[in-house]
Structure formats: C-alpha cells, structure tokens
Structure 1
C-alpha cells in the first residue's frame, strides 16, 4: 500500500513539473509566433510597396497594427495616411498576454496611427517622414526571437538584450 502511495506521489510530481515546462514552452512559441507574423507582414508591406509603386503605411496601436496603401486622393495618394480614405490592406490584433513595445529612434517619437511607419514606392523606410526603431514583446519568455529591428533598408528578427534588438 505504501508503494502505491509513493508511486502516485512521484507521478503527481512529474506531471506538475511537466505542466510548468509545457507552459514555458508554449509561452516561448507564442512570443516567437507573434514576432514572426509581424516580421512577415512588414516584409510583405515592403514588397507590396515596390510591386504597386505606391507608399504604404503600418499604423500601430497598443492592441493591434494595420497596413494601409496610399490611395487617397486618386490615383497615387498624397504621402499622408488618411484612415478611412486610404485602402486598408491588413489589420491584425496582438495576443493580449504578449504585449509589444514600439520604440522609434530618435526618442520620443513613436509609431502610431498619427505617425505611422511609412514605406516608399521603392520599399524603403521613408526616413524623411518615419524614424527607424524596434518592435518587441515585453514579456520575458526566452524565445529565440522576441523583437524586430526596423531600419531604412532592412527588417531583422532578433533577441532583446535589455537595451537593443540584437539581430540573429
């Protein structure tokens, strides 16, 4: 009888350890999933700007981001995001358990609907209008990737080291 109780206790301990390991693994997976989806959407926006030969915007809020094509006024837009008039290409909600911080450089600039990320018709970040910066998940989950460094010519997946996004 004591042996059965010991076996059940050991199995219970192993299941408890397994549960916490599984939860940590799922957190890492979800952080990486969110960052990789954002990375793909940003790269697709760059490519679409080149394909369509038109300015594209990425507007961030604390809970979502949206991609717009500059179509207002017709035919080629005016280089300014006009929500409601410009064509919305994509809108994605962020995972509520894994919020992101958007930091543009130089501070205190922040990308937002009022000051969106802007890619010109060549697919380059328009640094006359938009600054470079970082998008990162603020929850520490030890994923392989937890940030995106955005520069004029390149987006890079990386790992946040406490002060900057280190490209991997």
Structure 2
C-alpha cells in the first residue's frame, strides 16, 4: 500500500502562526531588555562613583594631601588640596584647589553621612573624615546602587529600603 505524500510546503496559516509567535517573543524580550538596560545604567553610574571615590582615596595617600569630595543632587566633584603649596591647608576651596573629577549622573545622589554633610575628605593617610552611605536613587532594583563609606574602606552594595547591603 502506498501513502500519499504532500510535498507542497507550508500553508499560509502555518506561516502566519509562526510570524505571530515570533512577534510576541520579540516584544516580550524587548521589554525585558529595556528593563535590564535601565538597571545596568544605575549599576554603571554607581561603579563609576565608587571608582572615583577610590581614586580620591588613593590620590590622598599617594600625594600625602587631603582630597575632597563634594556631592550635589545629580553631580559630584573631587578636589585635591593644593591651595598653599605644597600640601594644602586642609580646607576645601573650590576656586583654588585642583579639581580632579566633575561628573554628572542620571540619578539623584542621596548621601547619608555623619553630620548630614554633603562634602567630606580623605586625609593624607586615605582615611575618610565621615562615615555613612551614598545612594543613587532609582525605582529599579539594580545589583549595585549604594556605597558604604567607613573610615578605612569603601564598599559597594545594594540599598534594601533601610540600609546599604554590602556585596
């Protein structure tokens, strides 16, 4: 007995079904990718801030002079204490101290530092003059969005609604 074989290819209905399924998958993956990309941007800016703070701390130890950090709503700056050479006077003077970094972020910077300050320094030994956290505020849930500052160390972490959970 012989079986009839249909070798005419795919029907239009089958093709439209495959295209519809692929379209739905592309839309779902597109939204997922946009969310991932937004989280990545928060993490990227947090890591950049962490790197700049680490650089300021290392610069203070290397050059044996105070290095200042000035935090604003969506901007931070670091300065090297160069006023009254050779090693500065221990006071931030934005007009005369050497600016090392001036970075604008896409997210609000919320510092929770001792004394409620928005400016702090690393002394000649690289010790921070304040303790607390610096957070980049977003509605997303990135892996990294805050930095814990202790006298002798900096740690990156994730804000859980109350504190910065160091990673």
Give the TM-score normalised by structure 2.
Answer: 0.86
Large movers: runs of 4+ above 4 Å: none
Give the greater-gyration-radius structure (CA): 2
Structure 1 residue 83 and structure 2 residue 94: aligned?
yes
Give the TM-score normalised by structure 1.
Answer: 0.86
Q: Residues 2-151 of structure 1: matches in 2 within 5 Å?
A: 2-94=13-105, 96=106, 98-106=107-115, 109-111=116-118, 116-126=119-129, 131-151=130-150
Q: Which residue of the partner structure matches residue 165 of structure 2? A: 166
- The alignment yields a C-alpha RMSD, in angstroms, of 1.4
Q: CA deviation at 1:75?
A: 2.5
Q: CA deviation at 1:51?
A: 0.7
Contact 2:148 2:157 in 1 (8 A): yes
Q: Which of the pair has the greater relative contact order for Cα pairs under 8 Å at 6+ separation?
A: 1
Q: CA deviation at 1:24?
A: 1.4
Unaligned runs of 5+ in 2: 1-11
